[in-house]
Amino acid sequence: MTHAMLKGSNVPLEAGTVRAVLRWSAGPGAPDVDASALLLGTDGRVRSDADFVFYNQPRHPSGKVWRLGKKRVTEGLTDTVQTNVSGVEADVGRVLLVASADGMPFSRVDDLRILLYDADVPDGDPLAYFDIVPETGEETAMICGELYRRGASWKFRALGEGYANGLEGLASDFGISVEDPPGGDAESSGPREQQGAPAEAGPDFSRPLPAEEPTAPAMPVPPTTPGYGYPPAAPATPVAPGGYGYPQPAAAQRVPAHASAYGYPQPVGEQEFRMPPMGPQFLSR
């Protein structure tokens, strides 16, 4: 039997492994949504940053809580977190199931719902579901619900609590050391460690980027070689041709009248042209 839950209600869980499926409708202008989980100790806070399972840390070190990734289904898009509640460490009392929107408020997300399944029953009906409605519409992160211990068993409570400062604000409220932004002022954000102790970097909330295409190496330019035994000519200075909007050169180079065609120079001085002496083969007999 599937339980349709209201905010604040709870339902007992008999499953050893619970699959929590976050589902929403895709559409124009809708942000991407991510599912996350926080493992809380008896004091209501994480024991370390490793207790935060999200897109850049998809599996808990214990191996009992992990993300399964996103899928497209008939009803829309899904992102899933699975928890082996029967194997969670004894000092973990609650597992928060969280949704976060990528840079946009949840007022832009339609039909947001969390569904709980018994992961050991293939193709089984949901154990329960809860339709999540933001209170103000400005929330960018939502606690959808929580898995919590009650004696030797586990239950699920529907919450629907929102945060306007995103996944970072939600995580820091439960003891996650949020990584300082590059170039940020450490004093303005408050000390995270005692004076003199090195501060550890918190989780990286930046979304993973695709690898860039490798740039093809430039082809080497072969050296200029003289052709047919002639030495290479000195590089000529280009001159913009006149006409068609180009300015005329400052001074036109005058070509000497005695310059011959084909680029061969004439003798330096004026010389009288004479026929060479004829040999005996040209003499008349």
Q: Is the pLDDT of residue 268 over 70?
A: no
Q: How confident is the model at residue 280 (pLDDT cuts 50, 70, 90)?
A: low
Instruction: Answer for the pair 16, 99: CB distance below 8 angstroms, yes or no.
Output: no
What pLDDT score was predicted for residue 240?
A: 47
What pLDDT score was predicted for residue 202?
A: 72
CA 277, 283, 285: angle at the middle one, nearest 5? 165
The mean pLDDT of 58-77, rounded to a whole number, is 95
Bridge partners of 65, per DSSP, are 83
Query: Could you tell me which of 80, 76, 81, 73 has the C-alpha nearest to residue 112?
Result: 76
The mean pLDDT of 108-131, rounded to a whole number, is 96
Q: Name, in order, each residue with C-beta under 8 angstroms of 62's C-beta and a sequence gap of 6 or more.
A: 87, 88, 89
Round the average pLDDT of the chain to a whole number and report it.
79
Q: How confident is the model at residue 30 (pLDDT cuts 50, 70, 90)?
A: confident
The mean pLDDT of 178-192, rounded to a whole number, is 46
Query: Could you tell me which of 19, 6, 24 has the C-alpha nearest to residue 67?
Result: 19
Min mean pLDDT across 64-68, 69-73, 203-207, 264-268 is at 264-268
The mean pLDDT of 195-208, rounded to a whole number, is 59
